């Protein structure tokens, strides 16, 4: 039987859970992210407490956690850039290998997108490494399409990432 997967917004006191998931994701999938494991390990653990508190309460920044049977097993960040651009993004998406292909990633991105739409976003963006074919297919299945924008990946300058966007009409409510 498939384990049941649920998503909820991070709580203010979950800094250590955030640190655990973020370092696990950077260790397991270093090719996927602009930050490196070394970067994350250099940061004071207490700064994850401050991030969790902010991401639990801010109208502009949030983290959503995936759980299986009460155990944290994935995450995604959602944020809205400062004005004037004020574009909405999902980032840092990761699902633990043991619970992949069960639609946990889809649930995370849909809950984060829904929250961004509630904050007024008409579009949700994601930067995706061009090497990361799985993530590209995954996002395309969720109706994200390429914008044509590209840039060098922060922390992996020799690799490029592409900007994808999803228009927030009715499809994510279905």
Ligand X SMILES: CC(C)(COP(=O)(O)OP(=O)(O)OC[C@H]1O[C@@H](n2cnc3c(N)ncnc32)[C@H](O)[C@@H]1OP(=O)(O)O)[C@@H](O)C(=O)NCCC(=O)NCCS
**Interacting residues toward ligand X by CB under 6 A:** 29, 32, 93-95, 100-106, 128, 132, 134-135, 137-138, 141
DSSP strand pairing (88-95 vs 145-153): unpaired
Helix, strand, or coil (residue 25): helix
Least Cβ distance, residue 96 to ligand X (angstroms): 8
Least Cβ distance, residue 142 to ligand X (angstroms): 8
Nearer to ligand X, 135 or 168 (CB): 135
**Residue pair 151/159 in contact by the 8 Å Cβ criterion:** no
Residue found under tokens 């995450």:
75
Nearer to ligand X, 113 or 132 (CB): 132
Distance from the first to the final alpha carbon of the chain: 25
Q: Give 67's contacts (C-beta < 8 A, 6+ positions apart).
A: 5, 6, 7, 8, 73
Nearer to ligand X, 29 or 56 (CB): 29
Tokens of 101: 């292909």
Cα–Cα nearest to 156, from 45, 58, 33, 41: 33
Least Cβ distance, residue 107 to ligand X (angstroms): 7
Nearer to ligand X, 53 or 155 (CB): 155
Least Cβ distance, residue 17 to ligand X (angstroms): 17
């Amino acid at each position: 039987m498939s384990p049941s997967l649920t998503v909820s917004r991070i709580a203010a006191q979950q800094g250590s859970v955030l640190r655990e998931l973020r370092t696990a994701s950077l260790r397991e999938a270093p090719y996927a992210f602009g930050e490196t494991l070394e970067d994350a390990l250099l940061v004071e653990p207490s700064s994850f407490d401050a991030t969790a508190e902010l991401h639990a309460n801010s109208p502009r920044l949030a983290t959503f956690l995936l759980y299986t049977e009460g155990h944290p097993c994935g995450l995604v960040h959602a944020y809205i850039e400062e004005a004037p651009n004020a574009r909405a993004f999902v980032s840092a998406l990761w699902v633990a290998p043991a619970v992949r292909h069960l639609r946990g990633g889809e649930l995370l991105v849909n809950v984060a997108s829904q929250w961004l739409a509630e904050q007024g976003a008409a579009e949700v963006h994601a930067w995706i490494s061009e090497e990361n074919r799985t993530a590209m297919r995954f996002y395309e299945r969720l109706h994200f399409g390429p914008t044509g924008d590209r840039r060098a990946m922060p922390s992996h300058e020799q690799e490029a990432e592409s900007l994808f966007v999803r228009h927030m009409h009715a499809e994510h409510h279905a």
